[in-house]
C-alpha cells in the first residue's frame, strides 16, 4: 500500500471531554471540532496522550470515535485515530472501528506495561494494531518519554516497511532532532509529523511539514504564525514565537499541564471538564495564578485568530 496521506500544518492532539464527575462527555466533541475548524485547524489526532486514552475504558474510546465521525464530517476536520493500548487486541479492534468510521489514518503507541524487548517485538505489536484497518495508513507513535520504549527510528522503519503493508510513517514525539533528521531522510516517501511543540521551529528547520500537538488546541494562531514566519524566512520572528510557545507551556506544566490546558480551553468557550485520575486538576488559586501569568506574556492577544 502506497501512502498518499501527508499531514501538513497543524494537527491538534485533542482532549477528551469529561463531565465534572470524571465520566465521559462525548457530546462535547462537536464543540471542539467546531472551534478548531474556526481556527483553521484541518486535522485532529484523537484519543492519544492528550486525549488521556490510557485512562479510558475501551467502550468510552469507541464512543469518542463515533462522536468524532459525526463531528469531523460536520465541520470538515480530518480525523486520525490513536488506537494504542497495552492490549494489541484492543488496538486492532479500535483500528477496525476507525476504518468503519472513514477516518484518515490510525496510529498507536507501543504497549508500555509489558514493554516490547526488541525492535522485532515492537513491530509485531504495530502490525497487529495496523491490521485492524488495512485500508488506512498506519503511523507508529514514537513517544519514549511516556512509554519507556526507545529504539532507533530507522530500525523501526526498516522492519515496519517489510512487515506492515499500510505503514505510513512515524508520529515523532522525541526532542532528539538528530534522530528526526535521520528518520526523515531514511525514506522520503514516508510521513514524519513532529510531536514536540516546544521544539517546533527546530523541526521545521530539519524538514518537518506537519506536526501533532496538544497546545495547537488552545494557541493555534501562535503556531500558524510561526510556520508563516519560517516560510517567509523571517527567522527573528519565528524565534520570538517559539519562545512564546516555550513560556506558555512552561507556565501550564508548572501547575499541572493537562488540567490547566482544559481550563484554558474553557476560557476559549470549549468546556472539556476536568482531567481524569490519576492526573490532578488545579485549585482555584492555581487557576487565578495561571490566568495572571498567561496575561503577563500576552497569551490572550496572540493565541487565537
pLDDT (tens digit per residue) in 175-209: 999 999 999 999 999 999 999 999 999 999 999 99
pLDDT at position 4 is 74
Nearest to 161 by CA among 198, 119, 106, 99: 119
Report pTM: 0.97
Per-residue confidence (pLDDT) for residue 95, from 0 to 100:
98
pLDDT exceeding 70 applies to what percent of the chain? 99
Mean pLDDT of 236-261: 98
pLDDT of the residue at 188 = 92
pLDDT tens-digit readout, 221-239: 999 999 999 999 999 999 9
Alpha helices in 76-166 (DSSP H): 88-100, 119-130, 144-147, 153-163
Burial 61-96 (b: 16+ CB within 10 A, else e): bbbbbebbbebbeebebbbbbbbbbeebebbbbbbb
What share of the chain in percent tops pLDDT 90?
A: 98
Under the banding of pLDDT at 50, 70 and 90, the label for residue 2 is low
Q: Does residue 113 have a pLDDT over 80? A: yes
Q: Is the pLDDT reported for residue 71 higher than 80?
A: yes
CB 11 within 8 A of CB 211: yes
Averaged pLDDT for residues 266-282: 97
Mean pLDDT, residues 73-89 taken together: 98
- Report the catalytic residues: 141, 171
Tell me the residue length of the chain: 305
Residue 286, Cβ density class (10 Å: 0-12 exposed, 13-18 middle, ≥19 buried): middle
pLDDT of residue 1: 62
pLDDT of 153 higher than 90? yes
Q: Is the domain 9-233 a CATH 3.10.180.10 member?
A: no
Q: What is the mean pLDDT of the chain?
A: 97
**Whether the Cβ atoms of residue 48 and residue 107 lie closer than 8 Å to each other:** yes
Cell 496575561 -> residue: 295
Flag whether pLDDT at 104 surpasses 70.
yes
Residue pLDDT, tens place only, 124-150:
999 999 999 999 999 999 999 999 999
- CA 227 – CA 222 distance, rounded (Å): 9
Alpha carbon distance 227, 231 (integer Å): 6
> Residue 3 above 70 pLDDT?
no
Cα separation, 180 vs 192, whole angstroms: 8
Grid cell in block for residue 100: 468503519
Amino acid at each position: 500500500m502506497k501512502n498518499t496521506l501527508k499531514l501538513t500544518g497543524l494537527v491538534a492532539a485533542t482532549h477528551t471531554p469529561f463531565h465534572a464527575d470524571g465520566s465521559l462527555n462525548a457530546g462535547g466533541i462537536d464543540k471542539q471540532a467546531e472551534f478548531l475548524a474556526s481556527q483553521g485547524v484541518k486535522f485532529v489526532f484523537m484519543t492519544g496522550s492528550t486525549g488521556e486514552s490510557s485512562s479510558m475504558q475501551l467502550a468510552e474510546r469507541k464512543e469518542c470515535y463515533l462522536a468524532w465521525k459525526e463531528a469531523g464530517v460536520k465541520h470538515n476536520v480530518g480525523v486520525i485515530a490513536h488506537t494504542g493500548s497495552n492490549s494489541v487486541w484492543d488496538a486492532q479492534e479500535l483500528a477496525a472501528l476507525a476504518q468503519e468510521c472513514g477516518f484518515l489514518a490510525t496510529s498507536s503507541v507501543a504497549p508500555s506495561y509489558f514493554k516490547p524487548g526488541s525492535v522485532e517485538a515492537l513491530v509485531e505489536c504495530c502490525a497487529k494494531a495496523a491490521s485492524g484497518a488495512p485500508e488506512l495508513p498506519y503511523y507508529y507513535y514514537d513517544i519514549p518519554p511516556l512509554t519507556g520504549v526507545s529504539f532507533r527510528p530507522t530500525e523501526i522503519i526498516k522492519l515496519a516497511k517489510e512487515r506492515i503493508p499500510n505503514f505510513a510513517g512515524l508520529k515523532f514525539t522525541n526532542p532528539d532532532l538528530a534522530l528526526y533528521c535521520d528518520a526523515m531522510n531514511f525514506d522520503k516517501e514516508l510521513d514524519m509529523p513532529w510531536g514536540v511543540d516546544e521544539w517546533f521551529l527546530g523541526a521545521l528547520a530539519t524538514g518537518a511539514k506537519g506536526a501533532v500537538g496538544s497546545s495547537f488546541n488552545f494557541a493555534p494562531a501562535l503556531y500558524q504564525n510561526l510556520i508563516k514566519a519560517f516560510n517567509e524566512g523571517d527567522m527573528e520572528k519565528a524565534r520570538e514565537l517559539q519562545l512564546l510557545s516555550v513560556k506558555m507551556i512552561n507556565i501550564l506544566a508548572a501547575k499541572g499541564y493537562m488540567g490547566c490546558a482544559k481550563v484554558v480551553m474553557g476560557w476559549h468557550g470549549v468546556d472539556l471538564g476536568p482531567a481524569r485520575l490519576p492526573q490532578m486538576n488545579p485549585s482555584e488559586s492555581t487557576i487565578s495564578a495561571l490566568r495572571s501569568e498567561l496575561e503577563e506574556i500576552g497569551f490572550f492577544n496572540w493565541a487565537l485568530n
